[in-house]
Structure 1
Amino acid sequence: MTKHQDPTRSGHPIESFLCSALDDLEGLADVPAWSMDEATTDRVVLLAARVAAGVAEVEARAIGQAVSLDRPGIAGCRGVTQWLRQLTNVTGRLAARKAALASSLAAWEPTRAATARGAIHAEQAQAIADKIALLDDDVTDHDKQRAEAFLLGEAADHDADALGRMGHEIYARLDPDCADAREAEALARAEARARKRTRLRMYDDGEGLTHGTFVIPTLYGEMLRKALAALAAPKHVRAEQGAGSYDWETPTPEKLGKALCDYVARFPASKLPKLGGLNATVIAIGDADLLEGKVKVARLDTGHKISHLDYLRLACEAGIIPIWMNATGDVVSMGRRHRFHTARQRLALIARHQHCQRNGCTVPGYLCHVHHPHPWSEGGETSLRNAELLCPFHHGVAHAGHAVEAYPMRT
């Protein structure tokens, strides 16, 4: 027995409608769509979108009622988003959007009514509410209503993204003389918010791919878009890969992904700040016989492994720094000629140890300091024999007499 057939239901008109709608949907489950002609198919898609908008408005009102009844608090949830996730098993992202829509529609009645009758989609309603909420505090309620009416009228011909870009048109109608100045100020506020919301997340799936998401200000997004478009352009692709290699009209996600790899690989390391005393470049570490064609695994200084094929591809364009090690892994020393370990010595340490050498510490080598176990001030040489990789925390501990409590950066 499904939930909407529960005999304990209240009989409230909204609940009764939804139960009837679910019953009707069950009756349509086995009705074939292939029997619809072209005109009917178009109408059904449009009708389904309008019904979905109306149901979203009903759901938004119900969420608003749940907030007024403190259902999230009674359920022990931190907020309405968590409550929605628990109640409906939707993702946090979708729950947050539903909660935001409920709040927005409660504030703007004409937008709510248009959503209820299916005249606009839920995402259009949210865009309209968001745009009005960004108007200056000195804009009167009457003018905000005018702005809302303007955007509702434009919603018939524009999607949510276009509605969100119509800030200039709103100000041009409310205050034509100051429209440009107001738009500039609004854009400055939006850009400040965008900078605070900038994010980048990456993770390795263990299958040779790194996945990631990013949120960056539009200015830098457009810069990246143009850079990737240039790398994926026909002239560049043909020059790099030969005639006949460009077989698409618009760059596909795959082509743009490869262009991003090209962009990362070709960015001049000399233009990057130092990282751990070295250029911020990935170091590929492998035996000499890899260069002679032997099939072996190589590794990066970050700890990840790469195939011999990727190693050889890197060797074609990257610098090769030979490091000779004896049977115990020692590298030739530079004695006391230098107080600080050189870049090549750092490379050797990273190649040998990969991460901080304190037990259990996994801070990668490129973020570590090089420490003299036998202090330089007491006659210790600057060599690979008298060097160890320590993360900033453990380096501080070492210089504090190995007493963790004495290290001021301890948290």
Structure 2
Amino acid sequence: MSTTAAHPIGGAVARVHAALDEVAGTPSWSMSRAATAEALVEVSRAEARLVEVRSRLLSHAETVTVAETNASPSVAVWHSNATRSTKRESFRQVRLAEGLDRYDLVREAVGRGEVLAEQASVICTALDDLPDDLDAGVLEQATRALVAFAEVHDAKALRVLGRRILEVVAPEVAEAWEAEQLDREEREAERSAVLRLREDGQGRIKGSFTVPLLVGQMLERALLAFAAPKHQIATHAAAAGESEQDEAPVPVRRPTAQRLGAAFVELVERLDPADLPRAGGVNATVVVTMSLESLQDGLAAATLDTGARLSAATARRLACEAGVIPVVLGGDGQPLDVGRTQRFFTVPQRVALGVRDRGCTAHGCDAPPAMCHAHHEDFWSHEGHTATRRGRLLCPFHHRRIHDPEYEADVGADNQVQFHRRT
């Protein structure tokens, strides 16, 4: 490596390389569990400090026109070529450098290794999104608050906190600003909603879509319900003609994208045409035409009203689904606390737990409510009650852990569960 040792920054970089050369190839098998954990944390801090140095150098590269050395259109492009990184990554690093230039408090925290690059990027974006006419003192308070939040929150949580930071430092202006921002975003989301479908000539239709946040989350929740293992087991059992008492086969685990794709297919197939708008006096449904013989046991293909063809087996399967009416479970006025009369939490109780817990309550876990179990704080087997106030959401992994005698669980003031292995 070639560095200008006369400058302190160049010299420091050279010493970093020299220090790493000393441990290159050193086996780590002799490190204890505690030493390994500590070293991993310290490596993250060191990476953050190097990011701060890199950001200062990228900013200085603009000043001394480094890009002109090979006629690159920008420092980001020059950096991409010089370091063999993707242009996307180099532009991201340049944007972070520009953000750290604007917010000294964030840059200093990164330089101390207290804020990681991913966190700093989120903080700078959140600060950039604040009103242009915000008082400088309020902006500094917001910056300090987000830097403090970074000590205990990851970048994902900081993104949420950043959108609500004015509620913490300037509640008198937060409500009006948030209302204006949400209105603008929702209007833009509605205008930009698109759906593209195209046949690929191999019996499939491919597509892409962009929808408002609320609609997307509604769709995701519906798909997660269809993709849930319990639903898959019930579906396999029904298809095999087994009763609820029979031991149903466990479904094969597939990548999430494939599971959601299968769930999307089932969701569309189960739509009740009676609930859909009419077009030309006819329900929005696809008409399948085939002979009775083919429907029963024939091999001839069926014809859709669009002229497309599908197998007789698929047509028979769809015929079996005809007349299935979705039923909405639950209703107004249902009690949330049902005591010992019912072991499992009801749908309204699950909704209440989801609103309160917003997902798995294990510290550091971000599993959404739809992927969580409802756990009895007072174990049912120990005369516990099925009550919302004594329940919590836990993902399957942490639900097993809270019943595992090898672990002890403590609930903090923030309703988060901390797990500790018993010694």
**TM-score calculated relative to the size of structure 1:** 0.59
Q: Distance between the aligned counterparts of 2:94 and 2:278, measured in 1?
A: 43
Contact 1:72 1:80 in 2 (8 A): yes
Contact 1:81 1:96 in 2 (8 A): yes
Equivalence for 1:258: 262
2:27 to 32, 37, 41: 32
Contact 2:115 2:151 in 1 (8 A): yes
Contact 2:138 2:170 in 1 (8 A): no
1:229-240 → structure 2 map (5 Å cutoff): 229-234=224-229, 236-240=231-235
Equivalence for 2:175: 180
For residues 364-403 of structure 1, the C-alpha deviation after alignment (integer angstroms, 9 at most, x for no partner) is: xxxxxxxxxxxxxxxxxxxxxxxxxxxxxxxxxxxxxxxx
**Whose Rg is larger?**
1
Equivalence for 2:44: 49
SS of 1:106 mapped into structure 2 = helix
Q: Is 1:170–2:170 an aligned residue pair? A: no
Shift of 1:273: 11
Equivalence for 1:115: 110
2:148 to 149, 153, 163: 153
Shift of 1:172: 2.1
- Cα 1:65–1:136 change in 2 (3 A) is same
Shift of 1:317: 4.1
Contact 1:234 1:246 in 2 (8 A): no
Amino acid aligned to 1:101: L
Consecutive unaligned residues of structure 1, counting only runs of 5 or more, are 320-411
Q: Distance between the aligned counterparts of 1:198 and 1:268, measured in 2?
A: 24
SS of 1:165 mapped into structure 2 = helix
1:289-328 → structure 2 map (5 Å cutoff): 311=311, 313-317=313-317
For residues 186-226 of structure 1, the C-alpha deviation after alignment (integer angstroms, 9 at most, x for no partner) is: 33344456678879999999999999987754323312220
- Cα 1:187–1:311 change in 2 (3 A) is same
SS of 1:138 mapped into structure 2 = coil
Equivalence for 1:13: 8
SS of 2:6 mapped into structure 1 = coil
Q: Distance between the aligned counterparts of 1:115 and 1:108, measured in 2?
A: 11
Shift of 1:81: 3.2
2:99 to 79, 90, 104: 104
Q: Is 1:71–2:66 an aligned residue pair? A: yes
- Cα 1:238–1:125 change in 2 (3 A) is same
Equivalence for 2:139: 144
Q: Distance between the aligned counterparts of 2:160 and 2:125, measured in 1?
A: 11
SS of 1:33 mapped into structure 2 = coil
Q: Note the aligned Cα RMSD (angstroms).
A: 4.5
Consecutive unaligned residues of structure 2, counting only runs of 5 or more, are 238-243, 320-423
Contact 2:146 2:162 in 1 (8 A): no
Q: Distance between the aligned counterparts of 2:158 and 2:212, measured in 1?
A: 19
Amino acid aligned to 2:39: V
Amino acid aligned to 1:259: A
Shift of 1:292: 5.8
- Cα 1:131–1:21 change in 2 (3 A) is same
Shift of 1:133: 0.9
- Cα 1:44–1:201 change in 2 (3 A) is farther
- Cα 1:100–1:194 change in 2 (3 A) is farther
Q: Distance between the aligned counterparts of 1:102 and 1:15, measured in 2?
A: 18
Amino acid aligned to 2:142: A
Contact 2:197 2:206 in 1 (8 A): yes
Q: Distance between the aligned counterparts of 2:206 and 2:12, measured in 1?
A: 43
Q: Distance between the aligned counterparts of 2:200 and 2:23, measured in 1?
A: 41
Q: Distance between the aligned counterparts of 1:185 and 1:246, measured in 2?
A: 52
Contact 1:238 1:245 in 2 (8 A): yes
Shift of 1:64: 1.0
Q: Distance between the aligned counterparts of 2:249 and 2:148, measured in 1?
A: 43
For residues 129-160 of structure 1, the C-alpha deviation after alignment (integer angstroms, 9 at most, x for no partner) is: 11111111221111101100011111111111
Amino acid aligned to 1:182: W
Equivalence for 2:215: 220
- Cα 1:161–1:315 change in 2 (3 A) is same
Shift of 1:48: 0.8
SS of 1:166 mapped into structure 2 = helix
Amino acid aligned to 1:103: E
Shift of 1:112: 0.3
Shift of 1:173: 3.2
Equivalence for 1:59: 54
Amino acid aligned to 2:316: C
SS of 1:315 mapped into structure 2 = helix
- Matched residue count: 300
Contact 1:231 1:237 in 2 (8 A): yes
Equivalence for 2:400: none
- Cα 1:179–1:142 change in 2 (3 A) is same
- Cα 1:48–1:234 change in 2 (3 A) is same
Contact 1:269 1:281 in 2 (8 A): no
Contact 1:237 1:246 in 2 (8 A): no
Shift of 1:252: 6.5
Q: Percent identity?
A: 30
Contact 2:127 2:162 in 1 (8 A): no
Equivalence for 1:82: 77
Q: Distance between the aligned counterparts of 1:83 and 1:195, measured in 2?
A: 39
Q: Distance between the aligned counterparts of 1:282 and 1:126, measured in 2?
A: 52
SS of 2:152 mapped into structure 1 = coil
Q: Distance between the aligned counterparts of 2:61 and 2:209, measured in 1?
A: 33
Q: Distance between the aligned counterparts of 1:103 and 1:65, measured in 2?
A: 11
Amino acid aligned to 1:173: V
